[in-house]
C-alpha cells in the first residue's frame, strides 16, 4: 500500500508506536520555533529541565507578539529570551524581523522535516511540505532537549483540489470553504493533506495561507506536497539546496477525502464570531465597514501585500474606514519599500504597522464600539480584537483592500481586471536581524526582569479528587476565553499569578475569585473545549487556581495536551447528555482516582449534590497516565531522568 505525504514524513521520524490512526506515536523533531508570548514560559521550562544545549537541527526564537512595550514587561521578556536562547544554542529573531510563521517559511523551513512550534499556526510550514505542528511550550521545551514529541496518530484527510481559482478569488477563500465544510472541530485528530491538479495552480504563499488557517479546523496539521513550485520558492529565497521533492505515492490511501472545485469558489468571509461561520460576500451584502486590518501570519506575504498595494494605488481609503496594514516580515516590508508599493499604501491613507502580530492578538488597533472590522487574519473570536462588541469578519486581502476604499463590504470582482502579481525570482535576502547563539560552554548571563515569576508545578495526583463545579461553559470555548490575551494581559505571560485573575473571566467574571475561595475544583464544558491557541497559560492559570479536573463533551487537541502536561485530569462525558446532570456549584467527587486512571476507560464522578453518578472517560496513553500520576510533565521528566 502506498503512503501519503503525512505518513511518509511520520515514518521517517517515527521514534515509537505504529502508524495506526488513534494510537499514540512519538516522532523526532528536527526544528522548533517559539514566539515571545509563549516563549518566556517555554524557556523557563527548558531551563528547569537542565539541558545545557538544544539538540535539534535548528531552533529559532521569534519576538513578534508582545511588541507594544506599554511598560517594561515586554522588553524584559525580550531580553530574557535573547539571553536564554544565546546561552542554550537557539537562534534569536529580533523584534522587527517579522511574524514567526512568515519568517520561518521564508528563511528556515525545510521540506520533509518536522517542526514543532509553541504557536498553533506552526502548520504554516506545511505550505512547503514540512510536517509542522503547534504544541504547548512544555512539549517544545522537551523537543529542544532532544525528546520525542508524542501525539495521537492522526487520520489523514485528503482535500482534492480540482480546477483553478477565478480572478479575484484567493487562497483565503479556499480555506474558508474548507472551514465551511468541516467546521472548527472537523479537523480534530486529522492531518489535512492537499492533493490534486489544483495544487499546481497555487504558489507557496497561497499554500501557506491554507495550511496556516488549518489550525482553525482543529487539525493536527495541514500539508502540501513539495514540488516544483516549492523549489522555485526556495530558490527565490536563495535556499535551493534545502529543496527535496516530497510527493504522496501514486497509490496512497487516505482515511477521508473531500473535493473542492476551485473554479466554483467566490470571495467569502467568516462572519462573527467563528472562523467556520462562512458565507459568500455576495450573500452577506454591502455592510458598512469601520475598520480594515491587513496582515497576520495568514495573509502578510509579499504577494498579498503587492495585491493590496495595487488595489490601493491612486485611491483614498474611505473616510469612515481606518485601514491598518502590517507586512509579515522585514523581507516583505523592505521589498515593498524598495519597489514603491509601500508609498502607494501610505498615499492611499493606510496606517502602516510594524511587522508583527499586532491587532491579530489585540495588541493595539482595537476597533470602536460595535464596529464592523474586516480582517485578513485567522480568528474572529468574540473580544479578541480588544473590543467585545466589535463584529469581526475574516476575508482575503483582495476583499479587505476593495472594502477599505468603498467603505462597505465589497466583492473584489467588482473592481474590474485583477492585478497580475508575479512571484519574485529572487526575494530580498538579509538575515541581519537573526542573532546566532553563543558558542558552547559560554558564560552568557540570563537576564530576568522582575515580571518573570516562577511557574506553578502540580503535585502528584491524589486518590480522591473532590470539589465544586466552579463554572459551566458552552461548546467551542476558546483559549481566548480561558486565558484572554490582549494589550493589557499579554505583557504578563511570565506571571501566572497575575494572569490567573483573568482566567475564564469572559465567561464569568467571578470565576477566579470563586475558584480561590473554594480551594479549586472542577471546570465543566461542552464540545471542542479549548480550541484556538497553543498557550499553555490556559492550563497553567487553572492549575494555579486549583483546578483538578476538566469535564467536557470533547477537547481541542493542543489544550488537552497542555492540561495533561500540567497534571490536570481531562475527562469526557461518556454520554454527552450527562452534561445536563451537573450544575454550577454542585459538589463532585472521584474516588479511587489513582487506580481508575491507571486502569483507564470509565471514571465515575459522584455528583454529591444531586445524589447521582456520572460516567466519564479518559483516553490517556501509558505515558500520559504516568504523567497524570506524577502531577504533570515536568515532575514526570524529573522522575524519569
Ligand atoms: C494566537 O493566535 O492566538 C496566538 C497568540 O498566536 C497563540 C499563541 C499565544 O497565545 O501566545 C497561538 O495561536 O498559539
Ligand atoms: Fe500572531 Fe495572529 Fe498569527 Fe497568532 S494568529 S501567530 S497572534 S499573527
pLDDT at position 493: 95
Mean of pLDDT over the chain = 97
Domain positions in the chain are 5-264, 269-415, 465-639
Residue 639 — pLDDT band, cuts 50, 70, 90? confident
CA angle 200–205–206, rounded 5-degree value: 55
Ligand 1 atom at minimal distance to the Cα of residue 65: 5
Catalytic choice (535, 537, 557, 559): 535
What is the tens place of the pLDDT at every residue in 281-290? 999 999 999 9
Ligand 2 atom at minimal distance to the Cα of residue 379: 5
Give the three cell numbers for residue 520.
479549586
What is the tens place of the pLDDT at every residue in 157-202? 999 999 999 999 999 999 999 999 999 999 999 999 999 999 999 9
Are the C-beta atoms of residues 6 and 223 closer than 8 Å to each other?
A: yes
Residue 638 — pLDDT band, cuts 50, 70, 90? confident
Mean pLDDT of 468-491: 96
Distance from the alpha carbon of residue 405 to the mean position of ligand 1, in angstroms? 30
* Pocket perturbation via mutation, ligand 1, pick of 33, 36, 38 by most ligand atoms within 8 A of CB: 38
Residue closest by Cα to atom 6 of ligand 1: 119
Ligand 2 atom at minimal distance to the Cα of residue 296: 8
pLDDT at position 619: 87
Superfamily the domain 465-639 falls into: Aconitase, domain 4 (3.20.19.10)
CA angle 352–355–357, rounded 5-degree value: 105
Catalytic site includes residue 104: no
Q: What are the pocket residues of ligand 1 if the criterion is a CB atom closer than 6 Å to any ligand atom? A: 37-38, 65, 119-121, 134, 361, 485, 532-535
CATH no. for 5-264: 3.30.499.10
User: Cα–Cα distances in Å, from 565 out to 140, 141, 538?
Assistant: 12, 12, 12
CA–CA distance, 381 with 387 (Å, rounded to integer): 11
What is the tens place of the pLDDT at every residue in 299-345? 999 999 999 999 999 999 999 999 999 999 999 999 999 999 999 99
Catalytic site includes residue 533: yes
Catalytic site includes residue 88: no
User: Does the predicted model carry a pTM greater than 0.95?
Assistant: yes
Exposed / middle / buried, residue 47 (Cβ in 10 Å: 0-12, 13-18, 19+) = middle
Catalytic site includes residue 276: no
pLDDT at position 138: 97
pLDDT surpasses 80 at 641: no
Helices (H), 357-462: 397-406
Q: What are the pocket residues of ligand 2 if the criterion is a CB atom closer than 6 Å to any ligand atom? A: 65, 99, 119, 121, 296-297, 357, 360-361, 377-378
pLDDT at position 637: 86
Give the three cell numbers for residue 382.
468574540
pLDDT surpasses 90 at 150: yes
| Total Cβ atoms within 10 A of residue 637 | 20
Q: In this structure, what DSSP letter does residue 107 have?
A: I
pLDDT surpasses 90 at 244: yes
Backbone torsion region of residue 532, taken as left when φ is above 0, otherwise alpha when ψ lies between -120 and 50, otherwise beta: left
pLDDT surpasses 90 at 1: no
Distance from the alpha carbon of residue 117 to the mean position of ligand 1, in angstroms? 11
What is the tens place of the pLDDT at every residue in 578-627? 999 999 999 999 999 999 999 988 999 999 999 999 999 998 999 999 99
Ligand 1 atom at minimal distance to the Cα of residue 483: 10
Catalytic choice (30, 76, 119, 586): 119
Ligand 2 atom at minimal distance to the Cα of residue 35: 6
| Total Cβ atoms within 10 A of residue 627 | 26
Distance from the alpha carbon of residue 43 to the mean position of ligand 2, in angstroms? 20
pLDDT at position 238: 98
Residue closest by Cα to atom 2 of ligand 2: 360
Distance from the alpha carbon of residue 28 to the mean position of ligand 1, in angstroms? 24
Residue 500 — pLDDT band, cuts 50, 70, 90? very high
CA contacts within 13 A on the Cβ side of 15: 14
pLDDT at position 640: 81
Catalytic site includes residue 101: no
Residue closest by Cα to atom 1 of ligand 2: 357
Mean pLDDT of 29-44: 97
SS3 351: strand
Mean pLDDT of 138-163: 97
What is the tens place of the pLDDT at every residue in 385-428? 999 999 999 999 999 999 999 999 999 999 999 999 999 999 99
Ligand with the closest atom to the CA of 100: 2
Catalytic site includes residue 621: no
Q: What is the CA 33 to chain-centroid distance, rounded?
A: 12
Identical fold for domains 5-264 and 269-415, yes or no, is yes
pLDDT at position 501: 98
CATH topology of domain 269-415: Aconitase; domain 3 (3.30.499)
Are the C-beta atoms of residues 115 and 125 closer than 8 Å to each other?
A: yes
- Phi and psi dihedrals of 584, rounded to 5? -55, 140
Backbone torsion region of residue 28, taken as left when φ is above 0, otherwise alpha when ψ lies between -120 and 50, otherwise beta: beta
CA–CA distance, 279 with 286 (Å, rounded to integer): 13
Amino acid at each position: 500500500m502506498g503512503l501519503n505525504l503525512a505518513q511518509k514524513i511520520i515514518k521517517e521520524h517515527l521514534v515509537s508506536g505504529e502508524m495506526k490512526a488513534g494510537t499514540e506515536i512519538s516522532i523526532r523533531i528536527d526544528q522548533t520555533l517559539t514566539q515571545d508570548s509563549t516563549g518566556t514560559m517555554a524557556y523557563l521550562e527548558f531551563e528547569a529541565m537542565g539541558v545545557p544545549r538544544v539538540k535539534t537541527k535548528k531552533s529559532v526564537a521569534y519576538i513578534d507578539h508582545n511588541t507594544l512595550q506599554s511598560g517594561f514587561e515586554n522588553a524584559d521578556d525580550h531580553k530574557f529570551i535573547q539571553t536564554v536562547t544565546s546561552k542554550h544554542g537557539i537562534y534569536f529573531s529580533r523584534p522587527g524581523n517579522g511574524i514567526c510563521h512568515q519568517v520561518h517559511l521564508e528563511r528556515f523551513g525545510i521540506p520533509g522535516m518536522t517542526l514543532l512550534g509553541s504557536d498553533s499556526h506552526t502548520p504554516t510550514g506545511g505550505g512547503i511540505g514540512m510536517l509542522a505542528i503547534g504544541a504547548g511550550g512544555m512539549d517544545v521545551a522537551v523537543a529542544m532537549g532532544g525528546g520525542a514529541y508524542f501525539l495521537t496518530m492522526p487520520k489523514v484527510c485528503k482535500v482534492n483540489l480540482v480546477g483553478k481559482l477565478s480572478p479575484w478569488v484567493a487562497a483565503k477563500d479556499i480555506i474558508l470553504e474548507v472551514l465551511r465544510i468541516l467546521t472548527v472541530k472537523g479537523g480534530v485528530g486529522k492531518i489535512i493533506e492537499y492533493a490534486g491538479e489544483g495544487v499546481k495552480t497555487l504558489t507557496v504563499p497561497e499554500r501557506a495561507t491554507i495550511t496556516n488557517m488549518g489550525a482553525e479546523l482543529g487539525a493536527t496539521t495541514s500539508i502540501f506536497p513539495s514540488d516544483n513550485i516549492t523549489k522555485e520558492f526556495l530558490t527565490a529565497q536563495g535556499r535551493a539546496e534545502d529543496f527535496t521533492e516530497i510527493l504522496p505515492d501514486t497509490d496512497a490511501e487516505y482515511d477521508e477525502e473531500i473535493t473542492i472545485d476551485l473554479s466554483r469558489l467566490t470571495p467569502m468571509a467568516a462572519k462573527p464570531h467563528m472562523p467556520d461561520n462562512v458565507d459568500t460576500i455576495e450573500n452577506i451584502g454591502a455592510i458598512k465597514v469601520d475598520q480594515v486590518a491587513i496582515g497576520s501570519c495568514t495573509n502578510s506575504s509579499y504577494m498579498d501585500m503587492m495585491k493590496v498595494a495595487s488595489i490601493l494605488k491612486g485611491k483614498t481609503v474611505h473616510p469612515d474606514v481606518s485601514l491598518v496594514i502590517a507586512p509579515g516580515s522585514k523581507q516583505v516590508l523592505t521589498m515593498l519599500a524598495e519597489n514603491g508599493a509601500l508609498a502607494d499604501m501610505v498615499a492611499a491613507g493606510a496606517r502602516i504597522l510594524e511587522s508583527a502580530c499586532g491587532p491579530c492578538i489585540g495588541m493595539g488597533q482595537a476597533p470602536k464600539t460595535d464596529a464592523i472590522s474586516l480582517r485578513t487574519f485567522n480568528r474572529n473570536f468574540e473580544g479578541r480584537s480588544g473590543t467585545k462588541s466589535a463584529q469581526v469578519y475574516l476575508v482575503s486581502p483582495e476583499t479587505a483592500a476593495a472594502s477599505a476604499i468603498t467603505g462597505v463590504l465589497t466583492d473584489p470582482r467588482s473592481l474590474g481586471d485583477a492585478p497580475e502579481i508575479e512571484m519574485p525570482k529572487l526575494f530580498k535576502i538579509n538575515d541581519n536581524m537573526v542573532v546566532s547563539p553563543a558558542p558552547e560552554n559560554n558564560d552568557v548571563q540570563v537576564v530576568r526582569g522582575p515580571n518573570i515569576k516562577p511557574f506553578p508545578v502540580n503535585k502528584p495526583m491524589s486518590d480522591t479528587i473532590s470539589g465544586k463545579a466552579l463554572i459551566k461553559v458552552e461548546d467551542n470555548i476558546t483559549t481566548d476565553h480561558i486565558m484572554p490575551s490582549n494589550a493589557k494581559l499579554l505583557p504578563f505571560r511570565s506571571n501566572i499569578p497575575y494572569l490567573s485573575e483573568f482566567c475564564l473571566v469572559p465567561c464569568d467574571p467571578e470565576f477566579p475569585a470563586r475558584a480561590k475561595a473554594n480551594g479549586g475544583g472542577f471546570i465543566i464544558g461542552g464540545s471542542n473545549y479549548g480550541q484556538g491557541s497553543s498557550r499553555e497559560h490556559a492550563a497553567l492559570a487553572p492549575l494555579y487556581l486549583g483546578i483538578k479536573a476538566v469535564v467536557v463533551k470533547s477537547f481541542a487537541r493542543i489544550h488537552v495536551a497542555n492540561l495533561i502536561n500540567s497534571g490536570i485530569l481531562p475527562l469526557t462525558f461518556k454520554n454527552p447528555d450527562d452534561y445536563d446532570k451537573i450544575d454550577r456549584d454542585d459538589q463532585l467527587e472521584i474516588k479511587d482516582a489513582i487506580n481508575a486512571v491507571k486502569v483507564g476507560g470509565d471514571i465515575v464522578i459522584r455528583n454529591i449534590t444531586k445524589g447521582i453518578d456520572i460516567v466519564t472517560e479518559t483516553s490517556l496513553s501509558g505515558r500520559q497516565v504516568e504523567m497524570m500520576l506524577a502531577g504533570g510533565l515536568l515532575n514526570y521528566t524529573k522522575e524519569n531522568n
